[in-house]
Amino acid sequence: MKFKYILILSALIGQILSLSAREVTSFNEGWLFKRGPFSQDPVKVAAQWNADWETVNLPHTWNAKDMQVKADAFYEGVGYYRKTQFFGNELKGKRVFLRFEGVGANTEVYVNGKLVGMHRGAYSAFAFEIGTALKLGAENEIMVKADNASRSDVIPVNHNLFGVYGGIYRPVWLIITEQNNITVTDCASPGVYITQRNVSKRSADITVKVKLDNGSLTPADLVLENTIYTQNGKKVTSHRLPLVLTPQGTQTYISTFKLNKPHLWQGRKDPYLYKVISRLLADGKVIDEVVQPLGVRRYEIVPGKGFYLNGEKYPMYGVTRHQDWWGLGSALTNKEHDFDLAQIMDIGATTVRFAHYQQSDYLYSRCDSLGLVIWAEIPFVNRVTGYEAENAQSQLRELIRQSFNHPSIYVWGLHNEVYQPHEYTAGLTQTLHNLAKTEDPDRYTVSVNGYGHAEHPVNQNADIQGMNRYFGWYEKKLQDIEPWVKGLEEKYPWQKLMLTEYGADANLDHQTEYLGDALNWGKSFYPETFQTKTHEYQWSVIAKHPYIIASYLWNMFDFGVPMWSRGGVPARNLKGLITFDRKIKKDSYYWYKANWSKDPVLYLTQRRNIDRERKHTSVTVYSNIGTPQVYLNGKELTGIRQGYTDVHYVLADVTLEQGKNTIKTVATYNGKEYTDEIEWNYTGEKKRSADWSENKEEHAGW
């Protein structure tokens, strides 16, 4: 108990010391909100403006419901937020900033009626200095105008692939510093940039670049101190740099270190994090301080062989994640982010593509500490207008500067499925690649194509070529994935290729035993069993081909698509392994957990396909704990065989009884017995659904 008290006291002292240098406080309570549109009549506008403001706390979105329940029937436009805040005279001589983590999508911020800043883009953070607009010793009004209407000059330029939720949907922070500080407004970055070179078990060269800003009219004699600490808080090394900081523009200062025998960041196996603290001192007193993570690691991609972490081949078991939740939209708290990451860890994933936009910095920080290798990208997706180039570059610059120090990030995503005009798109991709290499020479870049051939006109303009392939769903047959991979491998052995999306939709209310090798996705019948078959076969092919450096199944969770109505559920993409409300894990989830995770898995598939269509059917078991025993109505079945991978077990000819049938599987692992049990009901043979495509074959258990 005494030890616990000391820890709490130490933490409080640390907070007090930190606050003496820089105060960062939540600015999320007590906002007033009003949604547009407003009348064009000046009298009516005034009446609308003064009436019926709703009290809200942040994060908040006005699209939490209408983007999720009906296709193409949501509000996109303007919403207003107001907050009254008292600022005392003790702030005289201080600098005051507001930092927004994310506003959908285009923002204007006013303080006491004065415009203090504008921002374009829904997913990157931004910070504005507001001190000169404040009235000290008085109440001040902060107003935020948010607008999520599509614009041709702001990416994404439409709501087609996903909805851009309107509102202040991520937290807002009030930051107070002295006149001299580590810059707050360098694209809302930490103002500290940590690079690492020549990383090995023997040593690593670390550079810490800090940007400083003087808000006064007088040069200041200061000391910049950069210190590296172990994960437990022990000082490793430190560098102090005396300097004279002038008021004329942001200045950059650099400290270099050599770490001997560094404790490497080893992904999920050992995500060890050092801590870098940058302190600015005046007359021996800390006047500003920023803390950043340091995970010492080296990423390398070898074409045709795979992904390497610190010189050792690393399995890239990949999922993708959209940030929205049922009933919440994108207005998530850390609790929701932690839940999603827990599912990603549980399934055994080692890498995540956070698509198709910059996601919460908290999420990236958690990936640092969990050891997930991640892909971060900008929302240059779906369509090209010819007017988005400047904003695409701006959002990429913001993404890189804000996320620069996260060791978990290995690649910057430049675009996803954007095409014509080919010349413009290819040129913009080259520009984005060059920008990324200027901002961060040490990470990879990637662009993603929805076509399956390397010679497509917009390809080969980034370090990595991503391809989204949905064999059996949008095109061809499930089995066509293997000749596609082999063809690319033979023709383009030098290519760094990633399979960046694959999968199929699954509506849990849709079930059938009759599965062909292709489904006409335009129909309204999206059976879970077809999704399961897709993932079973296609993962087995991916696992055999190291030419595919990494694969990312689409998607970890069902998500909102407000322009769509497919698969019997409006405004929903059903390709997730987990339902939109996060309550049900589909069969495919357990397929990957059995293949990827070290946790014991014993799982019978088709537990929701209860009303059986055939007397002679098949039973599938996923087991990573050895060959299971399977029982039908208490009698052990024989003839079990291994399927596509060594966790896949199939009984291909099982005869059901009339009425209720109980299937049970048993396996023993490390002296512990594991079981799983489901019930099916058979009442007679049933015909195939008319919603299937012409290419139909009977389900053989796979």
- The model's pLDDT over 122-152, given as tens digits with 9 standing for 90+, comes to 999 999 999 999 999 999 999 999 999 999 9
Instruction: Specify whether 565 is located in the same domain as 669.
Output: no
**What pLDDT shows up at residue 45?**
66
**What pLDDT shows up at residue 43?**
67
CA distance 406 to 433: 20
Contact 102, 119 (CB under 8 A): no
Instruction: Specify whether 275 is located in the same domain as 323.
Output: no
Helix (H, G, I), strand (E, B) or coil at 19: helix
**What pLDDT shows up at residue 699?**
26
Q: Is 700 a domain residue?
A: no
Q: Is 556 a domain residue?
A: yes
Give which of 394, 388, 332, 393 is closest to 361, Cα–Cα.
Answer: 332
| Total of domains in the chain | 4
**What pLDDT shows up at residue 523?**
75
CA distance 175 to 196: 29
Residues 6+ apart with CB under 8 A from 501: 320, 448, 468, 469, 470, 552, 553, 554
200-220 pLDDT tens trace: 999 999 999 999 999 999 999
Helix (H, G, I), strand (E, B) or coil at 603: strand
Contact 651, 619 (CB under 8 A): yes
Q: Which of 142, 177, 212 is the last residue of a domain?
A: 177
Domain holding 642, by residue range, is: 611-682
Q: Is 366 a domain residue?
A: yes
| Cis amide prior to 105 (ω within 30 degrees) | yes
Q: Which of 294, 329, 355 is the last residue of a domain?
A: 294
Q: Which of 117, 150, 177 is the last residue of a domain?
A: 177
Instruction: Specify whether 562 is located in the same domain as 473.
Output: yes
Max Cα-Cα span within the chain: 90
Q: Is 17 a domain residue?
A: no
Helices (H), 294-384: 334-347, 361-370
Identity of the amino acid at 307: F
Contact 349, 596 (CB under 8 A): yes
CA distance 373 to 266: 10
Instruction: Specify whether 204 is located in the same domain as 110.
Output: no
Give which of 655, 651, 650, 653 is closest to 615, Cα–Cα.
Answer: 655
Instruction: Specify whether 92 is located in the same domain as 154.
Output: yes
DSSP lists the bridge partners of residue 641 as 650
Q: Is 88 a domain residue?
A: yes
Which domain CATH number covers 643? 2.60.40.10
Instruction: Specify whether 142 is located in the same domain as 251.
Output: no
Buried b (16+ CB within 10 A) or exposed e, 212-242: bbbbeeeebebebbbbbbeeeeeebeeeeee
25-76 pLDDT tens trace: 999 999 999 998 876 666 666 777 888 899 999 999 999 999 999 988 999 9
Instruction: Specify whether 172 is located in the same domain as 67.
Output: yes
Three-state SS sequence of 75-130: CCCEEEEEEEEEECHHHCCCEEEEEECCCECEEEEEECCEEEEEEECCCCCEEEEC
For the entire predicted model, the pTM comes to: 0.94
Q: Is 480 a domain residue?
A: yes
Strands (DSSP E) found in 11-94: 23-26, 31-35, 54-56, 78-87
Instruction: Specify whether 40 is located in the same domain as 80.
Output: yes
Q: Is 466 a domain residue?
A: yes
**What pLDDT shows up at residue 290?**
98
DSSP characters for 361-377?
HHHHHHHHHHT-EEEEE
Instruction: Specify whether 336 is located in the same domain as 427.
Output: yes
Which domain CATH number covers 489? 3.20.20.80
Helix (H, G, I), strand (E, B) or coil at 680: strand
Buried b (16+ CB within 10 A) or exposed e, 367-381: bbebbbbbbbbbbbb
**What pLDDT shows up at residue 688?**
62
Residues, the chain = 702
DSSP lists the bridge partners of residue 115 as 110
418-472 pLDDT tens trace: 999 999 999 999 999 999 999 999 999 999 999 999 999 999 999 999 999 999 9
Instruction: Specify whether 36 is located in the same domain as 130.
Output: yes
CA distance 378 to 376: 7
Instruction: Specify whether 495 is located in the same domain as 462.
Output: yes
Task: Please give the mean pLDDT across all residues of the chain.
Answer: 94
Residues 6+ apart with CB under 8 A from 483: none
**What pLDDT shows up at residue 44?**
66
Contact 359, 123 (CB under 8 A): yes
Question: Phi/psi at 15 (nearest 5 deg)?
Answer: -65, -40
Q: Is 701 a domain residue?
A: no
Residues (pLDDT < 70) of the chain are 1-20, 39-45, 688-702
Tell me which residues are annotated as active site.
Answer: 417
Instruction: Specify whether 44 is located in the same domain as 152.
Output: yes
Which domain CATH number covers 170? 2.60.120.260
